[in-house]
Structure 1
Amino acid sequence: MKLLPIALLSLLAAAGSVNAADYKIDPGHTMVLASWNHAGYSNPTANFTGATGTIRYDEKSPEKASVEVIIPIDQVQSFVPELNDHLKSADFFDAQKYPTATFKSTKVMLKDGHLKVMGNLTLHGVTKPVTLKAKLNKVGIQEMMKVPAIGFDASTTISRSAFGISKYVPMISDEIELRITTEAHGDK
């Protein structure tokens, strides 16, 4: 059950553009959800909390966006304490040896109102290319906090065995669906 939000998440930002703005990912408003199939009977989900990073985004040139995210593996929450411990163990994430996962974008494309965010996901000591399908939710001033803000949703599917996490495949699915939602804030 390799769940790595890669990505996280759903993030973007434009590098090198004069109109680009940098936003810091808000861990309290960011969720990296992973789901998998368990022996054909159920589709459990786990949330990787505490993601941090930076999104650079230019509304005039979304294809220049970039994102860098760090995901603390030891903060996985499956809502089942024993499963949390098992996911952190050497059978799966080996969180003691590999405490974080990272995603760094390499290219962003705009197509049919959606962003394709290509980048490198490093998980369990292995780096592989991953493409996120992302949707810009909103850019503006977050009224409660009075700061510039941006929000995205993103998704992808990864093969956990490609990252060296193959325990119990195929009984526990190799394919892990990642869904990410994030809010990030700029400076006042």
Structure 2
Amino acid sequence: MRAMKVLALAALLGASFAAQAAPVTYKLDPAHTMVLFSWNHFGFSNPTANLGISAGTLVYDEANPAKSSVEVTLPLANLDTHVSALDEHLKKPDFFDADKYPVVTFKSTRVEPLGNNKFKVTGDLTVHGVTKAVVLDATLNKAGMQPMLKVPAVGFDATGTIKRSDFGVGAYVPNVSDEVQIRITTEAEAGKAK
């Protein structure tokens, strides 16, 4: 009888550990996600725009972070520089050509854990109909229960640099910088707790 109790306890502990180690799928929260990009304008200023997201999924595997992934869609309709004339200009054919290419997408292909909640995330970025591999330096800010929504949540920041001419968006280079700095901050939540 005692052996049965020990086996049952071991099975419960094993099931509990397996449940904790399972990857969790989170939905990125558009209200708490900013995808900022900045560039240099003739050496005088460094404007910044926010793309935001319309949809995004993050799978985070705490036990094996290399199995994590992220996929996002960023509609150019959400582009916001805080200057409406610039928003419209960036959507024109000499830049994003938003009528022809209305979204930017990113899909990770590799996540490399670096320790101390740091990761290198490699993925396919598609802009202006061109797909190129890019690398983002990501940091896990926090994983835990979101206190207001009462659901599991994670938060990440990430940075990277791309050359816009690689994506066919090279108008006014080099006076307007080819290099674009990217800074992302996001929160993501899992399904509601039962």
TM-score (norm 2): 0.86
Give secondary structure in 1 for the equivalent of 2:166.
Answer: helix
Q: Which amino acid aligns with 1:111?
A: L
Question: Distance between the aligned counterparts of 1:129 and 1:28, measured in 2?
Answer: 27
Shift of 1:18: 6.2
Which is helix-richer, 1 or 2? 2
For residues 173 and 81 of structure 1, what CA distance do their matches in structure 2 show? 21
Equivalent residue runs for 1:111-130 within 5 Å? 111-113=114-116, 114-130=118-134
| Structure 1 unaligned regions, length at least 5 | 1-16
Contact 1:30-1:51 at 8 Å conserved across structures:
no
Match of 2:167 in 1: 163
Q: Write out the 4+ residue segments of structure 1 that deviate beyond 2 Å after TM superposition.
A: none
| Residue 187 of structure 2 corresponds to residue 186 of structure 1 | no
Match of 1:73 in 2: 76
Instruction: Sort the Cα spacing of 1:148 and 1:65 in 2 relative to 1 into closer, same or farther, 3 A.
Output: same
Q: Does 1:36 align with 2:29?
A: no
The equivalent residue for 2:4 is none
CA distance in 1, matches of 2:52, 2:125: 17
Cα offsets for 1:22-63 (capped at 9, x unmatched) = 000110100000000000000000001234210000111111
Is contact 2:40-2:46 (8 Å) kept? yes
Q: How many equivalent residue pairs?
A: 172
* Equivalence for 1:5: none
What is the aligned-residue RMSD (CA, Å)?
A: 1.2
- Which one has the largest radius of gyration? 2
Match of 2:138 in 1: 134
1:139-154 mapped onto 2 (5 Å cutoff) = 139-154=143-158
Question: Quick one: which amino acid aligns to residue 149 of structure 1?
Answer: A
Structure 2 gap segments, 5+ residues each: 1-19
Query: Retained in 1: the 8 A contact 2:66–2:113?
Result: yes
Question: Aligned equivalents of 2:144 and 2:75: distance in 1?
Answer: 28
